Amino acid sequence: MMTEDKSKLLRSLSIDRSASEAGRSGRRWLPISAGVVACVILAFAVLAASGFRMQDRPNETASQPAAQPQTPQPQQQQAAASSREAGNLAASGYVVARRKATVAAEITGKVVEIFIDEGMTVTDGQIVARLDSVLAEKDYELAQSRAEAADAAIAAITADLQDATRIMSRVQTLSQKNFATEADLTKAQARVGVLAAQLRQVQAQFETAKIDAKRSASVLDKHKIRAPFAGVVIDRSAQPGEMISPMSVGGFTRTGICTIVDMDSIEIEVDVNEAFIGRVAAGGAVNAVLDAYPDWIIPASVIAIVPTANREKATVKVRIRFEQKDPRILPDMAVKVNFVRDTKAGGAAATKTTAAN
């Protein structure tokens, strides 16, 4: 009996591994089962939503008629083209002067006086500066003296020639009456010939002296530097006491006295993209606005399109004139222009196109 009791006691203390393994396996499959159920529910929800969309789409298709492809009409094409070209073409550039010159001397000399300053208005031929002309004045006086001496010699030889001519006439008369020898007549004729030759020589010398005097006067006049045209002085580069020369011969020799601009030649130069140059025509209206005066619209017009293109910038230069002159417009000012389209011409072109179609 005790042996059986011990056997029962030992069996009661042993662990039932099959039951524990079954419990573990049950707990392991529980989350997997829950995931599968969640996926099935999500799939059903997606299928239901797609089914509702499929039901709604035919209704919308039935309610709205299908759009048929239409060929664009000529009027629609013109409207699209006009909408693309509705905006005016704009460009930017600078104010330039067609007549602008740096006034310089034709000879080398020292500046003695300067009669102009920046901002002054000068006339054509006005003296703007004077160079040292002491030697030139002496040369001119010497040339004039030579011309006067030649003129006096002409007068003296002319008087001698007249006297010799009268003597020759008397000798010829006496020779015909045999009161004068042939030798006397030959001598009188020879004297007239010599005096005539001397007269021609002195006359040539007088002409040479006059040319020399004119040349000296021209050189003397070159010491007075004059304005080549009427305009405004925008720069004064020389000062009294400086050496000036038509060519740069050293670091201390200037080549110009001042810079003059003809304000009547003021115009605008702009660069227009070559893709839009077809929208610019000579004589077309332009509205110009200076950066210095942004509220001032200046009427202008196209002078010409320069017949060449800039390969690097792909632009074409356009010249524009100001319809009104104003002292506020200065060279090298930045300006923006707006090319005004001719609406009448555009409408006429559109009408012709429509009629042709």
Q: pLDDT tens for residues 214-225? A: 999 999 999 999
R_g over Cα of the chain = 55
Structure confidence by residue, pLDDT tens digits, 6-51: 566 556 655 555 444 444 545 555 556 666 666 667 666 655 555 5
Q: Which residue has 């060519």 as its token pair?
A: 247
* pLDDT band per the 50, 70, 90 thresholds, residue 174: confident
Mark 152-177 as b/e (b = at least 16 C-beta within 10 Å): ebbeebbeebeebeebbeebeeebee
The number of CA neighbours under 13 Å toward the Cβ of 218 is 7
* pLDDT value at residue 173: 87
| DSSP annotation of 328 | T
Q: Three-state DSSP class for 104? A: coil
Q: Which comes out higher in pLDDT, residue 255 or 55?
A: 255
pTM summary value: 0.58
Helix or strand (DSSP H, E) at 191: helix 182-221
Q: Which of 19-33, 69-83, 323-337 has the lowest mean pLDDT?
A: 69-83
- Residue 273 pLDDT > 60, yes or no? yes
In the chain the beta strands, taken as DSSP E runs, fall at 89-97, 100-103, 109-114, 121-122, 127-131, 224-226, 231-236, 243-244, 253-254, 258-261, 266-273, 285-290, 297-310, 315-322, 334-339
User: Residue 355 carries which side chain, given as an amino acid letter?
Assistant: A
Read off the pLDDT band of 65 (50, 70, 90): very low
Q: How far apart are CA 305 and CA 289, in angstroms?
A: 20
Q: How far apart are CA 303 and CA 96, in angstroms?
A: 14
Specify whether the CB–CB gap between 295 and 248 falls below 8 A.
Answer: no
